[in-house]
Amino acid sequence: MAEASTSYRVLPVRLVAPSGGPPLTRYLYIRPHSSPEDGLPKDRAVFVAGIPQQLQGTALVDLFTRFGEIERAALHGSRVSAVLLYAAAAGRDKLMRATGKRRAVELQLPEPPEPHGLKAWVEEHRALKPGNAELQASGAAAALRAALDEWMAEWEAEDAARRAAALKANEEEGWTVVQRHKGRKKNASASGVTVAGVAGAAAAAQLAEKAKKDHTHADFYRFQQREKRRNELLDLRERFEADKKRLADLRSARKWKPY
């Protein structure tokens, strides 16, 4: 019978995958278990640490059953350690002797009932984010489309109501609202207010402003000023001569001619 010890012994386990992939070697750390709290027999209980994911289930019991009948197995909440109770002390002794040989124990893993590893993560992701085909098959796409159409209709109705309220408020305050409409031109708003005068007044103001700017810079250069004064003098002379001729004609027409 092996003596109780607190030091761990190593049991190599060669795991053979059911799909025919390369085997994996994992190492289990084993020591005799003795704790006054659980009341297990000291000569039949063992503590196992470093349990891989592939052995977290019936595979763990199948592995240690090779050394003797297992009466009870308790997996820790962390799922990386467990306490095994053999039906007889001979089973535990055989296990401890096997750990001293350091020979790998081969175990054929069963086919998992559900996807695991990377495949399980991929299927979980697909379940959380279904594609278009899954949505069409489940009818969720039609329900989603109907919900979106209803939401858009409500939003458009609310937006139209807000625009109408803003337009009415502006017209009540005395503002003339000018809107651009496609198709035939209109000169009145929805409430009948004529807006043609607004555009005409704006155009007239722009033209006056432009004329003012052009007049301000008309005689900017000196030669333009000299030319303007010369033209004014010539115009005055021409009008003076015309006035002299007109006065002479009036005088000749007023002379008294008895015969």
Question: 72: which strand partners?
Answer: 85
Residue 209's pLDDT is: 78
Residue 41's pLDDT is: 87
Task: Say how many Å lie between the first and final Cα of the chain, rounded.
Answer: 181
Alpha helices (runs of H) in 196-255, residue ranges in sequence order: 196-216, 222-254
Pairing, β 81-86 against β 45-49: antiparallel
Residue 180's pLDDT is: 60
Neighbours of 90 (CB within 10 A): 15
- In this structure, what is the dihedral angle of CA atoms 19, 20, 23, 28, given to the nearest 10 degrees? 40
On whether the CB atoms of residues 89 and 67 are closer than 8 A, the answer is no
- Tell me the pLDDT tens digit for each residue of 223-250: 888 898 999 999 999 999 999 998 888 8
Residue 135's pLDDT is: 64
Q: Which two tokens stand for residue 107?
A: 């175990």
Residue 51's pLDDT is: 93
For the domain made up of 9-108, give the CATH fold: Alpha-Beta Plaits (3.30.70)
Query: What is the C-alpha separation between 120 and 173, in angstroms, rounded?
Result: 67
- For residue 88, give the nearest of 70, 66, 61 by alpha carbon: 70
Q: What are phi and psi of 38, to 5 degrees?
A: -85, -15
What predicted TM-score, i.e. pTM, was given to this entire model? 0.44
| Residue 172, Ramachandran bin (φ over 0: left; ψ between -120 and 50: alpha; else beta) | alpha
Residue 3's pLDDT is: 40
Query: What is the C-alpha separation between 134 and 139, in angstroms, rounded?
Result: 9
Length of the chain: 259
Residue 224's pLDDT is: 85
Q: Break the chain into its structural domains and give their ranges.
A: 9-108, 114-141, 166-206, 219-249
Query: What is the C-alpha separation between 94 and 87, in angstroms, rounded?
Result: 13
Write out 70-81 in H/E/C secondary structure. Answer: EEEEEECCCCCE
Q: What is the pLDDT along the chain (259 residues), one digit of tens a residue?
A: 334 445 899 999 998 887 777 888 999 999 998 887 778 888 899 999 999 988 877 888 999 999 999 999 998 888 899 999 999 999 999 999 998 888 889 988 877 667 666 778 888 887 777 666 666 666 777 788 888 899 999 999 999 999 988 888 877 766 666 666 555 555 555 555 555 444 556 667 777 777 776 665 666 688 888 898 999 999 999 999 999 998 888 888 776 555 5
On whether the CB atoms of residues 104 and 110 are closer than 8 A, the answer is no
